[in-house]
Amino acid sequence: MKQLTHMAMLAGLLSLPLHLLHSQAVIIHVTSGCSHSPPTDSTVFGVDHYAFPPSPEAEEVLQELLEVVGINPNTFQLKLSEQAENAMATIEGGQRYILYSESFFDSLRRSTQNKWAIYSILAHEIGHHTLGHNFNVTDPHDRIAMELAADEYSATILRMMCAKREEALAAINQLDESRSHPYYPPIIARRTQIDISWRARDDSYRLNGGDPCGDRSPLEFGDGYGQKRNRARNVEGHIKDGELIINFDANPIPGVQDYRSYLVISRNSDISPKPESIEWFTDPRKVGQGRQLRWRFADDGYSRDLVWKREELGIAVFRPRQVPYRVKWHGYVPGATALLLGGVKLAIWDDLRGTSRNIYNTYMTYRNPDDLIYQGDNPSRIEVRQEANQKYWWAQFYRNAGIICLVGGAFLLTERIIVDRRGRKGHLYVGQNGVGIRLNIGR
Ligand SMILES: [Zn+2]
């Protein structure tokens, strides 16, 4: 009888779906925690979460992150809970958990096309735990500070793992800007926090070395310089033994062979390289991938932290005729002079035209060629007509010259103003293997 019961039980069990038999779901009653972004409904807290083992991919990301931070892998348990909506850090029964929604991760993978979004979210949750945040805190100010601290943590870890700045921002950029919550800072503030923290770690590597991702970092000034006319892209710099080494690509324009490359320094910068310390390792008149410039700043008496100001440095590559010109006040003189000359010539034209008309009227009034109406040397009637014609010809001449001067002057002035506006972003330094000219833009 006992055996029969056993068999019946076994048969009953076998008919059940297998995964339930082996289900490793645990029930975690979540009272409080920190979600990556504000949860949409209230079923996240104060309820039982059915927490499943994480997907191998998510577990792998977590282990990778913990390895970088140097934390014992057993410190947290990563669990899959669709009730978590996005991802959250929580402590229940003395155990630290990170709960995440696999469908949220899936949609993030699809929308960002970037693996770093998930890294940054898990790093954010690790941050909450590592920084010892108390999830029972209800003061909104403290909660906001906790979120920003976790974002800072996440950005720092991502930089340590060689994610680019945009990659560190990938997850936050997916959040709905219109959703607000008293515990969460606005998205723009979180974005700023991540941006600043990523840069801070980057700059620290720049100055102190030890970058695990190789010693390079994007320069941004060069990308913006001259806007669309600037062909330089992917400008990256690093410092090594008293040298600033800048690598960049320069996009070709079909049919154009000749270019001019420049080291660009912000107008606000105090640094001023000597042309003889600048050396192009690739031809500055050519474009293509993998261009390089080196500046031996130590020769100019600068230290590495004086030189390393990423926003103040860059590369610009222009077509020769599109280089922003040196702009000074006398740059406006030719245009203004031409305008003035044009005005004077038009005044002369008007005067001559009047005189010519008067003489011609005289000629028309006195029909008899023998009339003694002419004064002075008494010219003949024919001579009077010739004089009127001559004056009229000169009047035409001054009118045309005046128009040319006015149009030319207006063109020169407009061009100066455009060049000035375009060029006021920085200095260009030309250094072509020791033979260089320094151009001051916008001074
Ligand atoms: Zn958080």
pLDDT band at 398 (very low <50, low <70, confident <90, very high): very high
Q: Dump pLDDT digits (tens) for 38-66.
A: 877 667 787 888 889 999 999 999 999 99
CA–centroid distance, 285 to ligand 1, in Å, is 50
With H, G, I as helix, E, B as strand and everything else as coil, classify residue 163.
coil
Mean pLDDT lowest among 74-78, 176-180, 391-395: 176-180
Residue 278 per-residue DSSP state: E
Q: Dump pLDDT digits (tens) for 144-156.
A: 999 999 999 999 9
Pairing status of strand 87-92 against strand 426-429: unpaired
What mean pLDDT do residues 346-361 have?
A: 91
Query: What is the C-alpha separation between 160 and 205, in angstroms, rounded?
Result: 9
Which residues is 432 bridged to in the sheet? 435
Q: Which amino acid is at 47?
A: V
Global pTM exceeds 0.85: no
CA–centroid distance, 407 to ligand 1, in Å, is 63
CA–centroid distance, 130 to ligand 1, in Å, is 12
User: Would you say 288 and 252 are in contact if contact means Cβ atoms under 8 Å apart?
Assistant: yes
Say which residue, 424 or 379, is predicted with more confidence.
Answer: 379
pLDDT band at 218 (very low <50, low <70, confident <90, very high): low
pLDDT band at 327 (very low <50, low <70, confident <90, very high): low
DSSP track, 97-118: EEEE-HHHHHHHHHHH--THHH
How far is the CA of 208 from the CAs of 213, 270, 296, 300, 431, in angstroms? 14, 22, 18, 21, 28
How many CB atoms are located within 10 Å of the residue 357 CB? 13
How far is the CA of 157 from the CAs of 60, 75, 216, 228, in angstroms? 16, 17, 17, 34
CA–centroid distance, 56 to ligand 1, in Å, is 23
CA–centroid distance, 124 to ligand 1, in Å, is 6
Query: What is the C-alpha separation between 334 and 198, in angstroms, rounded?
Result: 49
What mean pLDDT do residues 347-361 have?
A: 91
The strands making up 260-266's β-sheet, listed across from edge to edge, are 313-318, 260-266, 426-429, 438-439
CA–centroid distance, 44 to ligand 1, in Å, is 14
Query: What is the C-alpha separation between 312 and 120, in angstroms, rounded?
Result: 29
CA–centroid distance, 143 to ligand 1, in Å, is 9
CA–centroid distance, 162 to ligand 1, in Å, is 22
pLDDT band at 437 (very low <50, low <70, confident <90, very high): very low
CA–centroid distance, 33 to ligand 1, in Å, is 8
b/e burial code for range 195-209 (CB count within 10 A of at least 16 → b) = bebbbebbeebbeee
CA–centroid distance, 441 to ligand 1, in Å, is 46
CA–centroid distance, 113 to ligand 1, in Å, is 23
CA–centroid distance, 99 to ligand 1, in Å, is 12
Neighbours of ion ligand 1 (CB under 5 A): 34, 147, 150
CA–centroid distance, 151 to ligand 1, in Å, is 7
CA–centroid distance, 366 to ligand 1, in Å, is 103
Q: Dump pLDDT digits (tens) for 21-44.
A: 566 788 888 888 888 888 776 677
